[in-house]
Structure 1
Amino acid sequence: MVDGQIRGSLPGEPREISDLPLRGRVSCTGFIESVTYVPASERAQFAAIVVENIIHGAAAASPPHLRVVWLGRRRVPGVEPGAKLHFEGMVTVREGTPTMFNPRYEILTRQER
């Protein structure tokens, strides 16, 4: 802890996904690996898995990842597999995975199809 705050990065200090703290306010950049849509019968939320680098082909091990979740949304325009985004928000661990709810984000690039 530094000055009563949990050690983390400030929004101006981006971190690698592999270097995220267990909780605290962070800033990081990564690629959308996958997105999850929920059925209309369930509570609205949109989730994506973010990784540092997209690996094509067979992967030897699961890369470090961050789950980002937007509550109350069924879609977030521009958040799709292959897109590179910058995120800011509070990170916590849910179900063993670093998770960020309702982050601020900026789309940096999109993969051309």
Structure 2
Amino acid sequence: MATNERTTGLRRFFERLTASAAELDAQELQRDSAKCGAVLADQCSRGQVVSVSGRLRTVAYTPRTNLPTLEADLYDGSDVVTLVFLGRRAIPGIEPGRQLTARGRIAIRDDRKVIYNPFYELEAPR
């Protein structure tokens, strides 16, 4: 048993040693997401009410014909969920690089996972 645990520990050590920075970042985001009890984005499906946690990759104001829209891509290390804030041009604190947890119902738009007007909680900047 001790030999098996040692082998597993060595395997993890070498995996971390040879992993790219992006892979290590993705693993850390997934661990953080699991700690706060959020569902991983790649496990979310249409119609499901979920809590997802991760880092904002992009934030863009998208002018629509009658309704301004702020869209933010939340990456949790497994997949991206786009947060769509209808009727908003900007939201203080919603900016690339910020960590947050969002809650809402998953929809699918253009084969991408979307949450419209999510409840969200910003994490303190690191």
What TM-score do you get using the length of structure 2 for normalisation? 0.64
CA RMSD of aligned residues (A): 2.1
User: Which has the bigger relative contact order, CA under 8 A and spacing at least 6?
Assistant: 1
User: Is 1:31 the equivalent of 2:31?
Assistant: no
Answer 1 or 2: which has greater helix percent: 2
Structure 2 equivalent of residue 75 of structure 1: 90
Structure 2 equivalent of residue 49 of structure 1: 73
Residues 12-47 of structure 1: CA deviation (Å, up to 9, x unaligned): 952011211222211110110001113497621100
Give the gaps of 5 or more residues in structure 2: 1-35
> What is the total number of aligned residue pairs between the two structures?
91
Which runs of structure 2 are paired with 1:1-113 in the superposition (5 Å)?
A: 13-39=37-63, 43-53=67-77, 64-110=79-125
**Separation in structure 2 between the aligned mates of residue 99 and residue 109 of structure 1, nearest angstrom:** 24
Amino acid paired to 2:88? R
Structure 1 equivalent of residue 7 of structure 2: none
Structure 1 segments (4+ residues) deviating >6 Å: none
What TM-score do you get using the length of structure 1 for normalisation? 0.71
Q: Is the 8 A contact 1:17 1:30 kept in 2?
A: no
Answer 1 or 2: which has greater strand percent: 1
User: Which is higher, the Rg of structure 1 or of structure 2?
Assistant: 2
- Once the 2 structures are TM-superposed, how far is the Cα of residue 76 of structure 1 from its aligned partner? 1.2
2:95 partner SS: coil
1:87 partner SS: strand
Give the gaps of 5 or more residues in structure 1: 1-11, 54-62
Amino acid paired to 1:78? G
Identity %: 26
